[in-house]
Amino acid sequence: MANLRPCYLQISNSLCTEPWYAGKGFRFYHGSWKTASNRKKVSQPIESRVGWCGSCIVKCCSTSSPTSAAEATEQVFLDDSKVDEKEERFEYLASESGWKVRRLAENRDEMSEVAQIQAEAFHTPVALFDDVFFEFFKAEVLSGLLYKLRNSPPDRYACLVAEPAAERKLVGIVDVTALRDEDVLQHLEGADEYLYISGIAVSNNFRRRKIGTVLLKACDTLSHLWGFECLALRAYEDDMGARKLYTNAGYRVVSSDPQWMTWIGRKRRVLMIKRSNMLD
C-alpha cells in the first residue's frame, strides 16, 4: 500500500480528538499483560460482558502497490465464502438521546463504514486528484484498524461505534486503547496505565446531535468493565466546541503542546484527563 501520511494535525473541520494514526503513529501493547496495581479485577470475563467477537476474519493488505485505490481496500479482506463467521452478539455500553454505542462487529461491512467515517473526518483535501487520495487514505485507515483488531488483546483496545436506537447504521466512532505513556502518567498520580480516547468521529449528517456525548459515556463504561480509573485524550487548542464537549464529560486540561509546534505548521493540542467515578 502506498505510504501516504499527510499532516493530520492540520485538520480543522472535525469534532474529534487526534486519531490513532496521527503524529508519530499508534502505540499499543501486544500479547499478554499483567494487571497494574491501580486496576480492580472484575469477576465476570470481559468477553462475555462487552460482547467482543473472537478471531478476526480479515487480513492486512500486502506491501505491493495496488493498481487502484478500490483494489487497495478490497485486498485486505479474506474470501468471505471460505470463512465461517461467528454469530455476532452485541451488548450496548451506553444508550441515550436515541443513540446506542457498542463494540465494532468484526465484519466486512462495518469495518468499511468505520473507515469511511474516520476518513471523511480526518482527510485533508488536496488540490488535484482529491478523490484518488481520499480512497488511498481510507484504505490506510482500514488497514490500520484491521491490524489493531488482529493484534490487540480484547481488553486493551476497542473500536466503539454509535448507531440509532431503531436501526443498524453507524454514525459515530471512537477508539479506546490502554497505554502507559509517561508524558500522560505524570499527570495521573498513582496510575500505572490509563485508557486513551482517540479518533472520535461523527458522520457529517449527524453532527451536533449528542452522539459525541454518548460515545464518551460508553468509554466510561468500558473503563469500568476493564478496571481502569483514568482516561485521557487530546484536543486541538483552538477547537472550543470539542473542548466544551470533553469538559462537560468531566475531562480537564493539564498540559498543552509547546509553542514551537506552530512554527512548523502544526496546530497545538491540549492534554485532558479524567478520573472515572464508576469504580467507587
pLDDT tens for each residue of 44-87: 443 333 333 333 333 333 334 444 444 544 554 544 433 334 44
pLDDT band (50, 70, 90) for residue 19: low
Chain-wide mean pLDDT for the chain? Answer: 77
The catalytic position among 21, 92, 246, 251 is 246
Res 17: pLDDT: 52
Predicted local confidence at residue 34, as pLDDT: 35
Q: Is 92 a catalytic residue?
A: no
Q: Could you give the CA distance from residue 250 to residue 248 in angstroms, rounded to a whole number?
A: 5
Inform me whether the pLDDT recorded for 249 exceeds 50. Answer: yes
Per residue in 4-17, pLDDT tens?
Answer: 343 333 333 344 45
- Cα(152)–Cα(142) distance, integer angstroms: 15
Whether 194 has a pLDDT exceeding 70, the answer reads yes
Please report, rounded to a whole number, the percentage of residues in the chain having pLDDT higher than 90.
Answer: 59
The secondary structure of 225-249 as a DSSP string is: HHT--EEEEEEETT-HHHHHHHHHT
Which of 249-254's residues contact partners 24+ apart within 8 Å by CB, and which partners?
249/213, 249/216, 249/217, 249/220, 249/274, 250/274, 254/187
Which pLDDT tens digit goes with each residue over 94-139? 999 999 999 999 899 999 999 999 999 999 888 899 999 999 999 9
* pLDDT for res 30: 30
Domain residue extents for the chain: 8-29+44-275
Q: How confident is the model at residue 265 (pLDDT cuts 50, 70, 90)?
A: confident
pLDDT band at 33 (very low <50, low <70, confident <90, very high): very low
CATH class of 8-29+44-275: alpha beta
The mean pLDDT value for 148-169 works out to 95
- Examine the pLDDT at 3 and tell me if it is beyond 70: no
- Report in angstroms the alpha-carbon separations of 237 from 89, 242, 253, 267, 269: 39, 9, 10, 8, 5
Looking at residue 248, its pLDDT comes to 96
pTM of the complete model:
0.72
CA 197 to each of CA 17, 134, 228, 273: distance values in angstroms, whole numbers, following the listed order: 8, 24, 13, 10
